[in-house]
């Protein structure tokens, strides 16, 4: 029996497929949220910030530590952790990206510096937090599931979906309509021209890193909440690399692209599991990435030809 038919013929109900689709969407939310920060930095600085996954992890770890060791309530811990991640983003720019930028270093140098800083952050987390996977205290965080029509939907997942969509709309609004947003777009388009127009490029870039890292930290906390998993390793491997696949497929620098591609990847992965089987799962994201680069290099929402550099 061909793989496509088997699961349907095995008596699985439309409810099963619907639940799986929801799974794909909910997984996609985290991919999207993670990828937005990633792609924002690339769009503005042409840099692949590989410390983003470390900030993702740091958000979750810091929030948990604030709750467990300092007794903060969840929302306070969330806000404070995000603020600290934003600060980390600022420092990343100040300490590493800005000096390199000012002396005209090639972009790869910044990428490699971000790798080094990621190593430092993960190592510190490993040493201070320990390598174990922990969980946000169940009685002090949002939780619970809705059950109807044979489906099971976690309230946290719905919340994340709402947050992701809201953030995307908010970001789009900010970038299109507000002054800082216009400045970001100008710098992304052409930093030299932007400087000539009187924009403080360094400040804009710092803002971008702050925004990106805040989003990354938020994504990490929500991941830790949704997956009951907070450890120094949550950013590594899969999340980091899938984020890469997402921003490439979505189009480097495109926020809409990152979100759409994030959800797309979530759905495709689940589809492969459902229709092909669990053994084919691991390579999906990268096969998609590879094919996308070869067939559609600019990505779904990438910039078209004719743009000035």
- Which positions ≥6 away from 224 have C-beta within 8 Å? 60, 63, 64, 135, 136, 230, 234
Sequence-distant (≥ 6) Cβ neighbours of residue 15 within 8 angstroms:
149, 150, 151
Residue placing its CB nearer to other proteins in the complex, 129 or 210: 129
> With helix as H, strand as E and coil as C, how does 3-52 read?
CCHHHHHCCCCHHHHHHHHHHHHHHHHHHHHHHHHHHHHHHHHCCCCCCH
* 3-class DSSP string for 63-87: HHHHHHHHCCCHHHHHHHHHHHHHH
Return the number of other C-beta atoms located less than 10 Å from residue 281's C-beta: 13
CB of 144 to other proteins, least distance (A): 9
Q: Which of 206, 215, 217 is nearest to 55 (CA)?
A: 217
Shortest Å distance, C-beta 275 to other proteins: 11
Separation between Cα atoms, residue 294 and residue 285, nearest integer Å:
14
Which of helix, strand or coil describes residue 178? coil
Q: How far is the CB of 85 from other proteins (least distance, A)?
A: 18
Tokens of 10: 């095995």
Q: What are phi and psi of 153, to 5 degrees?
A: -125, 125
Q: Which is nearer to other proteins, 83 or 109 (CB)?
A: 109
Q: How far is the CB of 229 from other proteins (least distance, A)?
A: 5
Pick 148 or 196: Cβ nearer other proteins: 148
Q: How far is the CB of 296 from other proteins (least distance, A)?
A: 9
Q: Which two tokens stand for residue 99?
A: 């000096």
- Which phi and psi (to 5°) does residue 300 adopt? -65, -40
Would you say 20 or 164 has its CB closer to other proteins?
20
User: 130 or 170: whose CB is closer to other proteins?
Assistant: 130
Residue with smaller CB distance to other proteins, 168 or 188: 188
Least distance in angstroms from the C-beta of 302 to other proteins: 7
Cβ closer to other proteins: 38 or 214? Answer: 38
Q: How far is the CB of 196 from other proteins (least distance, A)?
A: 18
């Amino acid at each position: 029996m061909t793989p496509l038919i088997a699961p349907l013929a095995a008596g699985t109900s439309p409810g099963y497929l619907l639940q799986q689709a929801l799974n794909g969407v909910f997984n996609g939310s985290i991919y999207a949220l993670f990828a937005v920060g990633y792609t924002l930095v690339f769009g503005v600085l042409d840099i692949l910030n590989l410390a983003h996954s470390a900030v993702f992890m740091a958000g979750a770890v810091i929030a948990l530590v604030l709750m467990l060791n300092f007794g903060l309530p969840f929302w306070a811990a969330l806000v404070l952790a995000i603020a600290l991640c934003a600060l980390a983003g600022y420092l990343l720019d100040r300490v590493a990206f800005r000096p390199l930028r000012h002396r005209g270093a090639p972009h790869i140098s910044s990428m490699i510096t971000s790798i080094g800083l990621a190593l430092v952050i993960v190592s510190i987390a490993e040493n201070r937090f320990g390598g174990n996977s922990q969980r946000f205290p169940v009685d002090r965080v949002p939780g619970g599931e809705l059950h109807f029509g044979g489906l099971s939907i976690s309230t946290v997942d719905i919340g994340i979906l709402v947050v992701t969509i809201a953030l995307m709309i908010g970001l789009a609004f900010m970038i299109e309509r507000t002054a800082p947003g216009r400045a970001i777009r100008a710098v992304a388009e052409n930093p030299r021209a932007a400087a000539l127009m009187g924009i403080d490029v360094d400040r804009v870039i710092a803002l971008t890193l702050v925004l990106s890292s805040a989003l990354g930290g938020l994504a990490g906390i929500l991941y830790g909440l949704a997956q009951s998993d907070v450890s120094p390793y949550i950013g590594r491997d899969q999340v980091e690399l899938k984020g890469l696949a997402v921003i490439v497929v979505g189009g480097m620098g495109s926020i809409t692209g990152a979100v759409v591609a994030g959800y797309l990847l979530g759905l495709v992965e689940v589809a492969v599991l459902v229709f092909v089987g669990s053994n084919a799962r691991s390579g999906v994201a990268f096969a998609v990435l590879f094919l996308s680069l070869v067939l559609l290099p600019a990505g779904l929402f990438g910039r078209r030809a004719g743009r000035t550099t």
